[in-house]
Every structure is written in structure tokens, then in C-alpha cells.
Amino acid sequence: MLFVTVGLFKAATDKEDVDEEQHEEEYLPSDSEKEEGDGEATEEGGEEEGVAEEESQEPEIQYDEETQALIDEANIARERFQEAEKSVKDLHSEIGQLEEKVDRDYGLEEEFASLDGECYEYADLEYIYQLCPYNKASQRSKSGGSDVTLGRWSGWVESKEHSASGKYSKMKYDQGQSCWNGPMRSTIVTLSCGLENMLISVTEPNRCEYAMEFSTPALCNLNKITTTDTHDEL
């Protein structure tokens, strides 16, 4: 039975081969068609077929010199336009980022501006925490896995204290990665005066609510300004 099936299959495929051959024969170009084709037909059916499928689908058309020159010019112009369009897009996004920066509150004397663009790390037994001021706070498990965003820059925490150091003592980062069955992660960063910019501690007082302590000389200056102001008032 199997032999019969194989035999039938072979007969059928042989027949297809024959049909194909016949088919090809039927469509052999006539002598006049051959002349018109300028030998392109042979090239198309050659070894390159299947290697560059796209090319074979769109055979290169030969234009007269003038038309080809215009096509080349148009292609160059199109490329230049696309480059210019990309530059405009890049510039727009740069302007957007700069405008956002200009609007950012960097303190009374822009003393926190130098923190923008920097990142600081702190490691405890389980995690490596990262604070990128004016950008985001994140956490990465020491045993691997991807970063978990603990919040994105939201602003300074409004304080009831009227002194400058009061206003610029706590940063808020919110809308972080959602906590399973809980809120979106958020972080409050408490700043203190210190000799260098440093993330000095990270805790999680409530699930998915983080507290960071960050020391910075920027706040020492601010304390000085406030103290001087107070002296003037006295």
C-alpha cells in the first residue's frame, strides 16, 4: 500500500515537473520579445535570483541621462529633507528638556542645580538603591533582576516652616512601580548638610514607601543664608 502511495506521489510530482517544463516552454519569448528585453530576461532568471529578492522584484529601470540626473537630485534632496526633519525633531525635544529644567526649582540660589544629572548609590544587605536627584529613585536586588522605580521627581515637599532650609529640605519622588496589591512606590528624600553629596541611608517605613537620607553641601550654604537673614532681622 505504501509503495502504491509513494508511486502515485512520484508520478504526480514527475507530472508537475513535466507540466512546469512545458509551461516554461510555452512562455519562451518570441524573437521580437527577446530583442525588446535587451538581455534582461536572462539576467533575471540567473543565479542571483532569490539572493536579493527585493532587487529581483523591482528590476532596475534604465532612464535616459536627463531623467536619471533628476532622480538623483530628488533622492539627495529627499535625504537632506529627512536629515533636516530629524534635526528639527531632536532640537524640539532638547528645547522641551531645557524648558523643563528651567522650570525646575533648584533652590534660592540654584544651589541644587549641580545635582541634576548625577546619581548616587547606597547598598544595604538586600538591595542597591539609587537616587538620581530631579529624576528618579530606584532599587535593584543584589540577587539580580531589573531595576524597580521607587518614584519619579515630583517636587519639593511643601513645609510649614517659612525658612528657606525648610522649603528645600525634602524631595518627593512618586508614581514609581506599582506595589503588588498596594500603592505605587514613592520616596521622600530628606536632605541634610554634609561635606559631600552622599546617599547615607534608605529605609522602607511603610510597604513601598521609602525614606532616603541624602547629605549635600548645597544645604549647608542654604543654612548659612538663612542664618545671615535671621541676623539681619535681629
161 — alpha (psi -120 to 50), left (phi > 0) or beta?
A: beta
Question: Are β-strands 186-193 and 209-216 bridged in parallel, bridged antiparallel, or unpaired?
Answer: parallel
140 in contact with ligand MAN (CB under 6 A): no
Q: What are phi and psi of 102, to 5 degrees?
A: -60, -40
Least Å distance, CB 191 to ligand MAN, is 22
Determine which residue in the list 108, 128, 179, 198 makes contact with ligand MAN, applying CB under 6 A. Answer: 179
207 in contact with ligand MAN (CB under 6 A): yes
Determine which residue in the list 148, 157, 211, 225 makes contact with ligand MAN, applying CB under 6 A. Answer: 148
Stretch touching ligand MAN by CB under 6 A, among 24-32, 152-160, 189-197, 203-211:
203-211
180 in contact with ligand MAN (CB under 6 A): yes
Q: How far is CA 233 from CA 109, 185, 220, 228, 230, in A?
A: 20, 42, 20, 9, 5
- DSSP string across 168-202: TTEEEEES-SBPTTS-B-EEEEEEEE-SS-EEEEE
The neighbour count for residue 185, using CB atoms within 10 Å, is 24
Least Å distance, CB 211 to ligand MAN, is 12
Least Å distance, CB 124 to ligand MAN, is 11
The neighbour count for residue 23, using CB atoms within 10 Å, is 10
Count the residues of the shown chain that bind ligand MAN, applying the rule CB under 6 A: 7
Least Å distance, CB 148 to ligand MAN, is 5
Place of cell 517605613: 205
Determine which residue in the list 43, 116, 121, 204 makes contact with ligand MAN, applying CB under 6 A. Answer: 204
The alpha carbon dihedral of 115, 121, 124, 128 has a sign of positive
Least Å distance, CB 170 to ligand MAN, is 20
DSSP letter assigned to residue 112: T
Q: Choose between 15 and 207: whose C-beta lies nearer to ligand MAN.
A: 207
139 in contact with ligand MAN (CB under 6 A): yes
Helix (H) or strand (E) holding 26: helix 2-26
142 in contact with ligand MAN (CB under 6 A): no
Least Å distance, CB 139 to ligand MAN, is 6
Determine which residue in the list 164, 199, 208, 212 makes contact with ligand MAN, applying CB under 6 A. Answer: 208
**What are the residues binding ligand MAN (CB under 6 A)?**
139, 148, 179-180, 204, 207-208
